[in-house]
Amino acid sequence: MIASERVAATLHFTARAGTATVLLPRNRNGQLPVVLVDPVDEQGAVAHGLWLSHDIAGSDYHWTEPVRSTTRYDSGDSPTAWPAGPHSITTSATARELSSPDSADLTDSLTGLPGRIQLMERMKRCRSDGNRTPSAVLLVVNLDRFSMVNDGLGHDAGDAVLVYAAQRIVGATRAGDTVARLGADEFLVLCEGADAQRGRTIAKRIVTALQEPVSLGGYELRITASVGIANVTAETNPTDALREAGAAMQRAKVKGRNRTAQFEEGRSAQALRWLDLQQALALALQRDEFVLHYQPITTITGGIAAGVEALVRWNRPGHGLIPPDEFISVAESSGLIEPLGAWVLGEALRQLSAWKLTDRVPPGFYVSVNLSPVQLMDRSLVSNITRTIADHGLVGAELTLEMTETALIDDEEIMLATVDALASAGISLSIDDFGTGYSSLARLRHLPAKQLKVDRSFVAGMTTDSRDAALVAAVIGLAHEFGMTCVAEGVETAEQLDELTRLGCDYAQGYLLGRPMKSADLEKVWDQAVAV
């Protein structure tokens, strides 16, 4: 039997004589969903995520235990549970199986929830006529960092988390709301008859419901979600409502995840730009539109080239060269940062290897690459990096990975395990933009970092503001006390370089010493220096 087949099940009402027959979709294991019937009003509801045995055809099944996961909310905001006990349900599955060629598109085989098509059709029907007053609210629920579960515990565990999430979402909604699975780690909730305030209440309830820890495979997981909210009126196209709720969900992620965000009309242009960037970024990876520019890092004394920082640029057709601050956040929130980061690392190490083969760089020369906080959460990061280093005939000491201090706070246990593994592989770690984030000296003391980078905002004011000068001096002294070297970013004047020399800074980076440039242009600069 395939998962898309359906079984005709007869529901026997126990409050009075009578039956009703419904078509129930099997999940991919061949199981049927539990159907609860309220003995008072004889209204049935599928208890999504709860399954009967696959071999119940021709027999009765009595649900006799309370089912907390199917607690629903009535038309208001008060929770009401389906009556438990032997009078709640009796189902008899007949041997007649009805094949539905469209059921795979209409119903999710894993969770038993309706699919996108069903919800979109429901949205078309529920729109009010003749006014712009919201007749419904659409929610897009996205599980935060769900890929970590699949990568760390396997896809079976990921499926279990999705079923658990479906139960929690259903339990946080009202009895008349429609919960559907959009795909992957996203769910939709259509709240008919809800105004904006009611929609926000339901969205917050979903976020709270998913925060409850769940035990899986010996691990206690804390699942969080980002929820986008969009109003649906008589004039709203369902496709537009889905786009708006999706854009709001992405904004919730950008704001820190584990929260809700309401779509605002004033943000429509911004949302469209975000979606345009996301789609263009995905194509850019396929079309090889990214390039690396390299900025020299030199010793303070002597001005000797010690390394370069690899900085990604997007050569977008029709837009010119786009700096990373205009697209990295989109790449992070859309899941594109992993393939983009892998490309940057591979290209930077390829270039370093080429320079070494042609004796362009001195011994000990390194390339520095930035790591996103999202990349640091990837459990395969260390093995991928060490493999890429080996593929290019390099060693770990020739690569420096830069990460912000704020990145190390997000999930401290995972972050620290990752940076320890990277350090054990011989890779140098650098704390970028030091002094601008939310770190502590206690955390810094235990990090295996070898380098601190003074943020350019402090360097810019150090010759005119005594407080900035004191901060730069403090960071340099702290780095040396912890056995680290110190790099000053954004050095643009000779006066700044002189002051850094006086303070004992080790390295400098900035326009005074060299702008970011293509590898070929950097090689010309090196050739000119040799000729002189």
pLDDT at 271: 63
Does residue 497 register a pLDDT over 70? yes
pLDDT, one tens digit per residue, over 299-333 is 998 889 999 999 999 999 999 999 998 899 889 88
Q: Give the residue-averaged pLDDT of 166-195.
A: 90
- Closest to 162 (Cα-Cα) out of 190, 182, 138, 189: 182
Residue 99, pLDDT score: 30
Domains and CATH numbers, the chain: 7-63 (no CATH), 116-265 (3.30.70.270), 285-531 (3.20.20.450)
Give per-residue pLDDT as tens, 214-256: 787 777 788 899 999 999 888 888 888 998 899 899 889 888 8
Asked if the model's pLDDT at residue 21 lies above 80, the reply is: no
| pLDDT band for position 281 (cuts 50, 70, 90) | very high
Map tokens 């599980």 to a residue.
Answer: 143
pTM: predicted TM-score of the whole model, two decimal places: 0.57
Mean pLDDT of 11-39: 51
Q: What stretches of 60-185 adopt beta strand conformation (E)?
A: 60-62, 72-73, 79-80, 90-98, 136-143, 178-183
Give pLDDT, residue 223.
85
pLDDT score at 80: 40
- Out of 91-105, 112-126, 487-501, which region has the weakest mean confidence (pLDDT)? 91-105
* Structure-token match 């972050």, residue found: 415
pLDDT single digits (tens) 117-129: 888 888 887 764 4
What's the Cα-to-Cα distance from 142 to each of 226, 272, 471, 531, rounded to whole Å? 5, 19, 41, 58
Greater confidence, 227 or 279? 227
E runs forming strands in 372-427? 399-404
pLDDT digits (tens, 9 = 90+) for 57-102: 333 333 333 333 333 444 444 444 333 332 223 333 332 232 333 4
Q: What is the pLDDT of residue 60?
A: 38
d(CA 426, CA 400): 10
Highest mean pLDDT (candidates 37-51, 93-107, 260-274, 475-489)? 475-489
Pick the range with the lowest mean pLDDT from 121-135, 252-266, 369-383, 517-531: 121-135
Contact between 353 and 321 under an 8 Å Cβ cutoff? The reply is no
User: Which pLDDT does position 150 carry in this prediction?
Assistant: 78
Mean pLDDT in residue range 447-466: 91
d(Cα 178, Cα 176) in Å, to the nearest integer? 7
- DSSP annotation of 31: P
Q: In the chain, what percentage of residues exceed pLDDT 70?
A: 73
